[in-house]
Amino acid sequence: MPSPLFLDVSHTSHTRARTGVQRVARSLRRELAGLCVPVTHDPYEETWRPLEAWEELNLAEGNPAAGRGAQWPLLARLRGRLRRGRPDPLAAAAAFGGSRGGLIAPEIFSAAAGAALPELFAASAGPRVALFHDAVALQYPEFTPRSTVARFPAYLRELLAFDGVAAVSESSRTALLDYWRWLGVARAPEVVALPLGIDPAPPAAAPMAPGPVPIVLCVATIEGRKNHAALLDACELLWASGTRFELHLIGIANRETGAPALLRIERLKAAGRPLRYDGAASDAGLEAAYAACAFTVYPSLAEGFGLPVAESLGRGKPCLCRFEGALGEIAARGGCARLGSAGAPEIAAAMAAVLASPADLAALTAAARQRTFKAWPQYAAELLAWMRSLRPNA
């Protein structure tokens, strides 16, 4: 690229959450250091601008947050209102070696940011590309926050203004193109399937001695589509039948769609079941959980990519998941066992089969250890190479 890129991290720079989209944005910020200027849409200043120091801190590694919402301190809100109407901060950034080289939008941008895209496009000579994560808000509206469902059709139309869209899987690419085709879109940007990278496993430590009971790990936001309610019902069936294992849950909670699962968690813990729920976890805590578990289970009904499945396999841990859509793209290559439709009986049967057969678990583990995944440097390089092939729209 002849000059640095703008990287839109409007949401991630205002949250400590580490759900999938935020992890993608942070990883790109890390890998493109020196090649990008991180920017945010400031709804109080009503413009795009480079990040301030406190926003850069939110992008840095640190303790994860319990919630995923964007947070704007009172002082930042007041300062933004006072600055409203000043000379264009992005033009000033470009004058001092900022960016005219293009734009990467890795997040699902807000309505305010979407309406302000022309301003950001004018400041970036191109190419301008967005990442597309999934169409779950259309496919499973009953499991999606109402505000997201209402916003999503407009967001999909706003993606048409980009020079290219990098979908995180072939399944996501197909969903986006099908929606645009249904709309009757005559001219759409180029859309490619560019599977995500993952954080590599840390250097191998001394093997952990197995505990008295096997640990089954599930890493996922507690929300409707992740299907924790069915997982917890399945575990109760197994515990009631005398099957010995501990379930370890990691993930922040979405109170709107995850309430049924949260209620089950409290009831099972009160009943004395071997269930551990940590909420958000640090990188070190997550790695320790992967190291301690016998295998992982990921009962999600729909994904754009499925980072927890890839990261489990990348650490040599088998995963029980569905073999549909984007998850099937990862799972079919080995190291995974099928959950079928991922109802409670199917989950219970799959877990029981692995827990009861050390030979089956060993075979799945061996297959998982054979899997390789690209890391974030490779993903960033592939994204930049594809961007160079695009011709910016006039």
**7-16, 242-251, 296-305 — which is least confidently predicted?**
7-16
Which of 256 and 361 is assigned the larger pLDDT? 361
CA distance linking residue 51 with residue 57, whole number of Å = 10
CA distance linking residue 68 with residue 262, whole number of Å = 17
The Cβ-side half-sphere exposure at 225, using a 13 Å CA radius, reads 17
Burial (CB count within 10 angstroms: exposed 0-12, middle 13-18, buried 19+), residue 74: exposed
Q: Is the per-residue pLDDT at 50 higher than 70?
A: yes
Q: Is the per-residue pLDDT at 98 higher than 80?
A: no
DSSP state of 196: -
Delineate the domains of the chain, giving CATH numbers in brackets. Answer: 5-197+375-388 (3.40.50.2000), 215-369 (3.40.50.2000)
Given a contact cutoff of 8 angstroms between Cβ atoms, the answer to whether 248 and 308 are in contact is no
Residue 328: pLDDT band by 50, 70, 90 thresholds?
A: very high
In the sheet that holds 103-105, the strands lie side by side as 47-50, 36-42, 5-8, 103-105, 128-132, 164-167, 190-193
CB atoms within 10 A of CB 375: 15
Q: Is the per-residue pLDDT at 97 higher than 90?
A: no
Which of 390 and 72 is assigned the larger pLDDT? 390
CB atoms within 10 A of CB 200: 14
Q: Which runs of consecutive H residues, i.e. helices, occur in 108-206? A: 111-115, 117-123, 136-139, 146-158, 170-183
Q: Is the per-residue pLDDT at 377 higher than 80?
A: yes
For 13, the token pair is 């720079």
pTM summary value: 0.90
The proportion of the chain whose per-residue pLDDT surpasses 70, expressed as a percent, equals: 91
Given a contact cutoff of 8 angstroms between Cβ atoms, the answer to whether 163 and 126 are in contact is yes
| Cα-trace Rg, the chain | 22
Residue 93: pLDDT band by 50, 70, 90 thresholds?
A: low
DSSP state of 198: B
What confidence tens digit (pLDDT) does each residue in 150-187 have? Answer: 999 999 999 999 999 999 999 999 999 999 999 999 99
Looking at residue 166, its pLDDT comes to 98
Task: Please give the average per-residue pLDDT across 105-128, as a whole number.
Answer: 92
What confidence tens digit (pLDDT) does each residue in 4-36 have? Answer: 899 999 999 988 777 888 899 999 999 998 899
Looking at residue 72, its pLDDT comes to 82
Given a contact cutoff of 8 angstroms between Cβ atoms, the answer to whether 303 and 325 are in contact is yes
What confidence tens digit (pLDDT) does each residue in 334-348 have? Answer: 999 999 999 999 999
The proportion of the chain whose per-residue pLDDT surpasses 90, expressed as a percent, equals: 70
**42-46, 64-68, 277-281 — which is least confidently predicted?**
64-68
Task: Please give the average per-residue pLDDT across 118-126, as a whole number.
Answer: 88
In the sheet that holds 336-338, the strands lie side by side as 275-277, 246-250, 215-219, 295-298, 319-321, 336-338
Looking at residue 94, its pLDDT comes to 56
Q: Which runs of consecutive H residues, i.e. helices, occur in 225-274? A: 228-240, 259-270
